[in-house]
Amino acid sequence: NSAAEWQVVVTHFPPSFAQDVWAALSRKYGIDLIIVGHAHFQSVTYDPHGPFGLTGVIISGGGGGITSEAPPATDGNDD
């Protein structure tokens, strides 16, 4: 255990790539926030009833190249 006020993890792959592992780590160590890249979309998630419980997840998005992993929208609102 740490005396730090916040437990923050910064890594490359989103926790959904190993959801069971990250969910267990979040519970065991009280991770407050996971900040990741890899995916080409931006996302901020906090769902106390979701798989990561009280751990928030930020995906920074758009690391270069493509800017969306979804198909283009006909109205131009792609992200």
What secondary structure does DSSP assign to the chain, as a single string? ----S--EEE-SS-GGGGHHHHHHHHHHHT--EEEE--SSS-EEE--TTSTTTT-EEEE----SS-S-SSPPPTTS---
Write down the pTM of the prediction.
Answer: 0.75
Q: Look at residues 35, 39, 34, 43 and name the one whose alpha carbon lies nearest to residue 63.
A: 39
Angle 14-15-16 from CA coordinates, rounded to 5°: 90
Question: What pLDDT, on a 0 to 100 scale, did the predictor assign at position 62?
Answer: 62
**Tens of pLDDT, residue by residue, the chain (79 residues):** 668 899 999 998 999 999 999 999 999 999 999 999 888 778 999 999 999 999 999 998 765 555 556 666 677 665 5
Task: State both tokens at 54.
Answer: 């009280």
